[in-house]
């Protein structure tokens, strides 16, 4: 079983105040959370890597009573840290947990324990007006992933179950790997599969659970991306993200952005292909492509 560590870097906050301090182990042997009290450099790049101090916060126990194998980072809400684990819990389907900086951990929700609940969360959480939102890779009514909301006290609500490409009659998202992005109260995300071509989507969902697929990727045969695995970021009203594959000849490509303006109506996407340039000029086709998508809101 793979093991993971959650890094709680304290260097910019004045260092770790208390707890057991030791040397960062060369390799992780257990799933746990810990905090460092100095800057960290990748192994092999800093001669001081063996003298970095850390503070052990919590080691996940797994089994029916605790989470195991966290894949994502943590979210700070008024001094309490929140996160997800891919597995653990009564059915092994993952958890949402809270942990105090002192190391006291509480499981807020066990996935897969209710009808239609999500399973195997891969991404972290976001905070929107005091409610936490996230995704699960599987589970839900169709076992194709979900979007959920949970309060800091542990009340979980299933907002949406993805349907995927079901017998040609629907072209919904499926299997979200990444978390969500809040833009003015509307949530945006990506799914690894689903859409008309089953090559992944960009979707939006309201906090009440109304979901809309904004774009279905078409793949490298038409110079488009496919299989997005990461989330989106918002830079001055433009959303940026990546696709794992796609572009000309199937090379990896960069999704240059989603430019949009607020308004009522439906959304449409228009791709514009831009090739990387060699230093001497001319396209450098074999090193990937840059794709730009303009998301324009029509008014009714």
Long-range contacts of 97-105 (CB under 8 A, 24+ apart): 97/67, 98/152, 99/33, 99/57, 99/58, 99/74, 101/8, 101/35, 101/57, 102/57, 103/19, 103/33, 103/56, 103/57, 103/58, 105/58, 105/60, 105/66
Q: What are the tokens at 3?
A: 């093991």
- DSSP 8-class letter at 102: T
Cα separation, 238 vs 252, in Å, equals 21
Mean pLDDT, the chain, rounded, equals: 75
Which tokens go with 179? Answer: 């978390």
Confidence check: pLDDT of 202 > 80? yes
Of the pLDDT bands very low, low, confident and very high (cuts 50, 70, 90), residue 232 is: very high
63-297 topology per CATH:
Neuraminidase (2.120.10)
Distance CA 147, CA 292 (A): 27
Write out pLDDT tens, residues 24-70: 343 444 566 655 443 334 444 544 555 566 778 999 999 999 999 99
Buried b (16+ CB within 10 A) or exposed e, 33-52: bbbbbbeeeeeeeeeeeeeb
Domain range summary for the chain, segments of one domain joined by +: 1-59, 63-297
pLDDT at 224: 83
Does this model's pTM top 0.85?
no
Over residues 138-151, the pLDDT tens digits come to 999 999 999 999 99
Residue 238: pLDDT band (50, 70, 90) is: confident
How far apart, in Å, do the first and last CA atoms of the chain sit? 53
Q: Which two tokens stand for residue 225?
A: 């991306």
Which range in 45-49, 74-78, 169-173 is most confidently predicted, on average pLDDT?
Answer: 74-78
Q: Give CA–CA dist 147/168, Å, rounded.
A: 23
DSSP 299: P
């Amino acid at each position: 079983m793979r093991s993971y560590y959650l890094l709680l870097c304290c260097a910019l906050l004045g260092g770790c105040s208390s707890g057991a301090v030791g040397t960062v182990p060369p390799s992780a042997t257990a799933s746990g959370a810990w905090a460092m009290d100095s800057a960290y450099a990748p192994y092999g790049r800093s001669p001081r890597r063996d003298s970095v101090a850390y503070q052990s916060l919590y080691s996940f126990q797994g089994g029916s009573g605790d989470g195991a194998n966290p894949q994502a980072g943590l979210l700070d809400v008024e001094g309490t840290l929140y996160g997800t684990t891919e597995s653990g819990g009564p059915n092994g389907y993952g958890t949402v947990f809270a942990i105090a900086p002192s190391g006291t951990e509480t499981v807020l929700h066990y996935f897969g324990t209710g009808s239609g609940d999500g399973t195997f969360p891969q991404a972290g959480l976001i905070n929107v007006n005091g409610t936490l939102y996230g995704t699960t890779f599987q589970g839900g009514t169709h076992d194709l992933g979900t979007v959920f909301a949970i309060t800091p006290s542990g009340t979980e609500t299933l907002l949406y179950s993805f349907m995927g490409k079901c017998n040609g009659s629907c072209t919904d998202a499926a299997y979200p790997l990444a978390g969500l992005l809040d833009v003015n109260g509307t949530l945006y995300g990506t799914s690894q599969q689903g859409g008309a071509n089953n090559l992944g989507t960009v979707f939006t969902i309201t906090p009440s659970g109304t979901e809309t697929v904004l774009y279905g990727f078409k793949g490298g045969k038409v110079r488009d991306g496919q299989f997005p695995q990461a989330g989106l970021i918002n830079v001055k009203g433009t959303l940026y993200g990546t696709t794992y594959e796609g572009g000309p000849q199937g090379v990896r490509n960069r999704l240059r952005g989603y430019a949009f303006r607020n308004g009522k109506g439906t959304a449409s996407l228009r791709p514009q292909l831009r090739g990387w340039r060699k230093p001497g000029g001319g396209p450098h086709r074999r090193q990937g492509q840059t794709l730009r998508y303009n998301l324009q809101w029509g008014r009714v």
